[in-house]
């Protein structure tokens, strides 16, 4: 069953902690993306990767880090430097071609407690 899987679905973080969100895809896609969703603001790009062992900052990368050691995996770490991490995080993958759509995971809702 092909797709993109995010885990966990819900995550609670204490102030000052780092947390890592998992994103795995078995679609053989080269490109992977992390977006943050806040109410009324649409989706904003955090990081993206077009190929293994390479990634680029998106529009709101401060306080986040990523790695791309395997084609199928693109974990996102929300560090303690991220001042307002409570949000819904969406991972996506795609071929990178202009005419093809991206596929999204089901999201992780992160809450700071």
The answer to the question of residue 90 lying near another protein (CB under 8 A) is: yes
The answer to the question of residue 45 lying near another protein (CB under 8 A) is: yes
- CB of 9 vs another protein, minimal distance in Å: 8
- CB of 60 vs another protein, minimal distance in Å: 13
Choose one: 14-22, 66-74, 75-83, 91-99; the region binding another protein (CB under 8 A).
Answer: 91-99
The answer to the question of residue 75 lying near another protein (CB under 8 A) is: no
For 15, residues 6+ apart whose C-beta sits below 8 A from its C-beta are 80, 112
The answer to the question of residue 63 lying near another protein (CB under 8 A) is: no
């Amino acid at each position: 069953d092909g797709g993109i899987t995010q885990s966990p679905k819900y995550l609670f973080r204490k102030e000052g902690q780092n947390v890592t969100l998992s994103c795995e895809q078995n679609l053989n896609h080269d490109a992977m993306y992390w977006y943050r969703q806040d109410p009324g603001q649409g989706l904003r790009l955090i990081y993206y990767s077009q190929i293994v062992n390479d990634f680029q900052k998106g529009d709101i990368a401060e306080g986040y880090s990523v790695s791309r050691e395997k084609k199928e995996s693109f974990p996102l770490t929300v560090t303690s430097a991220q001042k307002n991490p409570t949000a819904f995080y969406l991972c996506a993958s795609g071929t990178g071609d202009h005419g093809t759509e991206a596929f999204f995971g089901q999201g992780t809702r992160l809450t700071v407690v």
